[in-house]
Amino acid sequence: MKNKNFYIENYGCQMNISDSDIITSILLNNGFFLSKNLEKSDIILLNACSIREKAEFTLKKRLEQLKFLKKKKRIWIGIIGCFSKTIKNFFIHQKIVDFFVKPDSYREIPNFIYSSMEGKQYFSTVKNNETYADISLINSNKQNHNKITTFLSITRGCNNMCTFCIVPFTRGRERSRDPYSIIKECKRLYQNGYKEITLLGQNVDSYVWEEKNEENKPKKPKNIVEFSKLLDLIAQEVPFMRIRFSTSNPHDMSNEVLKVISKHENICKHIHLPVQSGSNKILKLMNRKYTREKYLLLVKQIKDIIPECSISHDIISGFCNENEEDHQDTINLMNEIKYNYGYMFSYSPRPGTYAYRKLKDNVPEHIKKNRLREIIDLQRNHSFYRMQEHLGKIEEVLIEGVSKKNNQYWYGRNTQNLVVVFPKESLNIGDISYVKIIDTTSATLIGKPYK
Ligand code: SF4
């Protein structure tokens, strides 16, 4: 078998980066070679994301380009990960894609490649028990030589059924990975030089694992590990590794988790807490299972227990039935919290979701865009306001690389996940530097080394 070079490309979120590392590990262990040159590769894997329309659009555009490459030479193309039926149906007849692999079937990719080389087109189905607990991650991005920060999935799938979201259909039911395999992997990554790990899950706060006996029944006495316990264990086992996690669902976040974050210096003081909307009517239509009041109370608890904690958000503008009053509820909530930063989108229905099937996408496009613009502008003001709180402070920054704008500056992040740039003097990528913040924009803190 000669055709064994594979190239892997990500569309979408952090979860995809972690999945690409899992796939790379599986393929390398099966005698394939990772290539960094798409044109020279035999097998091209596109790790898809169907959460937002934009990622699907970019994937379609990429496949149009690959059509030409496929005409020039024999290559095999696989769409893997989180893809919708629409994408599958769109490409199935065009004969560009040779195989489609869902997130729980990555172990089968080598077989799918061999079969497609024999001229068969393959599709995997959704399974509900895979956690890839025994796979050691291998960095899939050959260009990323820094190897300082990485991602590790602790849960897969989601049980929440938010009405706008495709994840429960593409990634299946939620399951949690064995905590001891997570700790082992964290230690291995630390020994390999990683300095920061982000624990990933669609909803990390609902992580729960129970030890079972040989008959797959709960052990007696019971051994149950919830997210707060997992965080506590990891923080103790890799005390010099920075730990982050994402994403938290406000419905599931507990005070125990907040206390563990506050207890350990190596757990970063940042929580990504998607609110999606500030209106109770819209939250109910989205099936988000919390109210605006409960969300605000949670934010207060975060600030009480971890005063220095930064908070970021996801907000969707123009969801079904959103009127001006609902939009103003979102604006007021943002004004009350003044988030550090956020990810903002206008609503686009995703085929297969409850909202797509049952609710009317009835907010005109220009209104969605205007509301989104208002939200983005407000967030920029709030980000600048929050950044100014850092002026004059001495911050601990993990150096991740050289600043793209000025190669005389280091680029890194502080515990609040805010970008800090400062003049290179000594030190190296992967070192912790103490930096005095002397200036700021709405997106970047500017500092000087503190001696
Ligand atoms: S919590 Fe909601 S938005 Fe997040 S992945 Fe699950 S269903 Fe989707």
Residue 70's pLDDT is what?
A: 87
Kindly report which listed range (210-214, 230-234, 386-390) carries the lowest average pLDDT score: 210-214
Residue 146's pLDDT is what?
A: 64
Q: What is the pLDDT of residues 179-205, one digit of tens each?
A: 999 999 999 999 999 999 999 999 999
Q: How far is the CA of 168 from the centre of ligand 1 (A)?
A: 7
Higher pLDDT: 101 or 145? It is 101
Question: Percentage of the chain surpassing pLDDT 90?
Answer: 67
Q: What is the pLDDT of residues 350-394, one digit of tens each?
A: 988 999 999 999 999 999 999 999 999 999 999 999 999 999 999
Question: Which domains does the chain carry?
Answer: 5-123 (3.40.50.12160), 149-388 (3.80.30.20), 394-449 (2.40.50.140)
Indicate the SS3 state at residue 330: helix
166 CB less than 6 Å from ligand 1? no
Residue 137's pLDDT is what?
A: 72
Q: How far is the CA of 420 from the centre of ligand 1 (A)?
A: 31
Higher pLDDT: 137 or 272? It is 272
Q: Residues 57-80: what's their mean pLDDT?
A: 88
Q: What is the mean pLDDT of the chain?
A: 91
Please enumerate in sequence order all residues whose Cβ is within 8 A of that of 386, keeping only pairs 6 or more positions apart, or say none: 310, 338, 339, 340
Q: How far is the CA of 202 from the centre of ligand 1 (A)?
A: 6
Find the largest Cα–Cα distance for the chain. 64
d(CA 131, CA 126): 13
**Ligand 1, closest atom to CA 276?**
3
Burial class (CB in 10 A: 0-12, 13-18, 19+), 124: middle
Q: What is the pLDDT of residues 5-19, one digit of tens each?
A: 999 998 877 788 888
Higher pLDDT: 327 or 107? It is 327
Please enumerate in sequence order all residues whose Cβ is within 8 A of that of 426, keeping only pairs 6 or more positions apart, or say none: none
Q: Residue 267: enclosing H or E segment and its boundaries?
A: none
Which tokens sit at 210? Answer: 């129970």
List Cα–Cα distances, 391 to 306, 375, 412, 420, 435, in angstroms: 19, 25, 17, 12, 11
Among 52, 153, 160, 246, say which to mutate for ligand 1: greatest number of ligand atoms within 8 Å of CB.
160
